Amino acid sequence: MIRRVAWAVVVVAFGLFCVEGGSGCTAAQSEPDPGPLPAVELVNAFPKLEFKLPLYLCDDGANDELLYVVEQEGVIWRFKNDETSSEKTKFLDIAERIPARRHGEEGLLALAFHPKFKDNGYFYVNYSQFAEGAKPRRGVTSRFTWNEETRSVSLRSEKIILEIEQPWGNHNGCTLLFGADGYLYLSFGDGGSGGDPHGNGQNLGTLLATVLRIDVDKEENDKPYAIPADNPFVKTEGARGEIWAYGLRNLWRMSWDRKTGHLWGGDVGQNAYEEIDLIVKGGNYGWKNREGAHAYRDGRKEEGMIDPVVEYGRDKGISVTGGYVYRGEKQQALQGVYVHADYGTGRTWGLKYDYDKAELTEHELLGHFPRAAISSFGEDAGGELFACSHRSGIIYRVIVRQDADKEEDF
Ligand SMILES: [Ca+2]
């Protein structure tokens, strides 16, 4: 116990010299190890609130006391981040745009607030559409505007930023995140079906199977966004300049390490392996030559293909849900631990990673929640960690388990 308190003091002291997302953060990266990873439990964070098919949770960067929950069928709720909250208000309702006979992986999938949301009211969503007019099945990334005077969002405020054709209903991604650089990062799956029949994974000419990085504060070449000049493939012939990383099958959830600026993601596997990746500029994550750290069918490991930080097989789960590096204050034993889960089995793991040595230092089971169907994790303004139960609609707080035993099933 004494050791843990002393460690926390060291972290606070180093924290004073650290700029979020900055590069000179070596002190924080060589923190003393706090020892074995703690078991965690899930507690109902808002017992008086109900949600249906929640897929994401975040704050807006402007109002620290508020949280937002994204429901798959097209509604975003906002409410006070307090366990006694009994009221939620509808922030956005685009249910009418979500196909009634959607695929199980389609719907309203992502939400990100513009870094200047407080001033401009801009926020961004990604949702699925198909069979409207002559347009094919597609993923739509749009900006909407919160009107502070009417305290509402008009659907007429929609500005479509990017539409990506989706040949099949599955593998749509999508996470939207603004970086410390002010650019919007978007994750997209390989287009769906199974085994990447179109070979999108290794094709730099498509926006599928990627992480993209775009500047939504500028317009360029008849597009409602610009491509940052330092994107990795802007000078590669035949490549889409929007691409930041590729070779990703379905990076359903990704997140920043809010202390160091590293980008983590969980890439959902095909038949055998689920993976957690550290996403870097220009990185090729191997799909469909590779599944996890293995050949997919007769795929070759080509130069530069990046293996996952961790993988797990079908004995442990079927669909990874990428989480967050915990950087909050209330769960000190989780400090610096990346928490992720499996949607199917509810196994929930933590890992620690030494960025300087590019080395995994710990990866352990933290808990097992077979009935939770964790569709996403989320963070509030202070970096406290939540988990969305797709099955029950409950938003859980992820906390260090109060008694010490690390049981498999609780
Ligand atoms: Ca991979």
- Kindly report, residue by residue over 115-135, the tens digit of the pLDDT: 999 999 999 999 999 865 667
Query: Residue 28 Cα, ligand 1 centroid: separation in angstroms?
Result: 28
> How does DSSP classify residue 215?
B
Query: Residue 291 Cα, ligand 1 centroid: separation in angstroms?
Result: 5
Strand order in the sheet with 273-279: 251-256, 263-267, 273-279, 310-313
Query: Residue 279 Cα, ligand 1 centroid: separation in angstroms?
Result: 11
Query: Residue 308 Cα, ligand 1 centroid: separation in angstroms?
Result: 6
Share of the chain above pLDDT 70, in %: 89
Contact 336, 323 (CB under 8 A): no
Query: Residue 251 Cα, ligand 1 centroid: separation in angstroms?
Result: 10
Residue 163 has pLDDT above 90, yes or no: yes
**For the residues 367-393, what does the mean pLDDT come to?**
97
Query: Residue 219 Cα, ligand 1 centroid: separation in angstroms?
Result: 32
**For the residues 398-402, what does the mean pLDDT come to?**
94
Query: Residue 112 Cα, ligand 1 centroid: separation in angstroms?
Result: 25
Query: Residue 33 Cα, ligand 1 centroid: separation in angstroms?
Result: 28
Q: What is the pLDDT of residues 190-248, one digit of tens each?
A: 999 999 999 999 999 999 999 999 999 999 999 999 999 999 999 999 999 999 999 99
Contact 375, 19 (CB under 8 A): no
- At residue 408, the pLDDT reads 46
Distance CA 378, CA 385 (A): 6
| Angle ∠(386,388,391) on CA atoms, nearest 5 | 155
Query: Residue 206 Cα, ligand 1 centroid: separation in angstroms?
Result: 17
Confidence band (pLDDT; 50, 70, 90) for 139?
very high
Residue 35 has pLDDT above 50, yes or no: yes
Query: Residue 193 Cα, ligand 1 centroid: separation in angstroms?
Result: 17
With 0-12 / 13-18 / 19 or more C-beta atoms within 10 angstroms meaning exposed / middle / buried, residue 3 is exposed
Q: What is the pLDDT of residues 67-96, one digit of tens each?
A: 999 999 999 999 999 999 999 999 999 999
Q: What is the CB neighbour count within 10 angstroms for residue 191?
A: 25
Query: Residue 295 Cα, ligand 1 centroid: separation in angstroms?
Result: 10
* DSSP-assigned beta bridge partners for residue 210: 188, 246
Residue 289 has pLDDT above 50, yes or no: yes
- At residue 136, the pLDDT reads 85
Distance CA 142, CA 128 (A): 11
Residue 249 has pLDDT above 50, yes or no: yes
- At residue 133, the pLDDT reads 60
Distance CA 373, CA 388 (A): 8
Contact 252, 173 (CB under 8 A): yes
Q: What is the pLDDT of residues 308-329, one digit of tens each?
A: 999 999 999 999 999 999 999 9
Query: Residue 244 Cα, ligand 1 centroid: separation in angstroms?
Result: 15
Q: What is the pTM of this model?
A: 0.90
Query: Residue 267 Cα, ligand 1 centroid: separation in angstroms?
Result: 7
Residue 11 has pLDDT above 60, yes or no: no
Structure-model confidence comparison of residues 343 and 4, the more confident one = 343
Query: Residue 266 Cα, ligand 1 centroid: separation in angstroms?
Result: 10
Distance CA 198, CA 191 (A): 8
Q: What is the pLDDT of residues 52-72, one digit of tens each?
A: 999 999 999 999 999 999 999
Query: Residue 311 Cα, ligand 1 centroid: separation in angstroms?
Result: 9
Distance CA 386, CA 380 (A): 8
Query: Residue 401 Cα, ligand 1 centroid: separation in angstroms?
Result: 32
Q: Return the H-helix or E-strand segment holding 4.
A: helix 2-15
Query: Residue 117 Cα, ligand 1 centroid: separation in angstroms?
Result: 34
Residue 159, C-beta contacts closer than 8 angstroms, at least 6 positions apart: 142, 143, 144, 224
- At residue 18, the pLDDT reads 32
Query: Residue 154 Cα, ligand 1 centroid: separation in angstroms?
Result: 40
Query: Residue 383 Cα, ligand 1 centroid: separation in angstroms?
Result: 28
Structure-model confidence comparison of residues 10 and 111, the more confident one = 111
Residue 186 has pLDDT above 90, yes or no: yes
Distance CA 185, CA 176 (A): 6
Query: Residue 299 Cα, ligand 1 centroid: separation in angstroms?
Result: 12
Query: Residue 247 Cα, ligand 1 centroid: separation in angstroms?
Result: 6
Topology given in CATH for the domain delimited by 54-319: Neuraminidase (2.120.10)
Structure-model confidence comparison of residues 108 and 25, the more confident one = 108
User: Can you say whether the dihedral through the CA atoms of 305, 309, 314, 318 is positive or negative?
Assistant: negative
**How is the chain split into domains, by residue range?**
54-319
Minimum mean pLDDT range among 34-43, 79-88, 135-144, 151-160: 34-43
For the chain, the average pLDDT equals 90
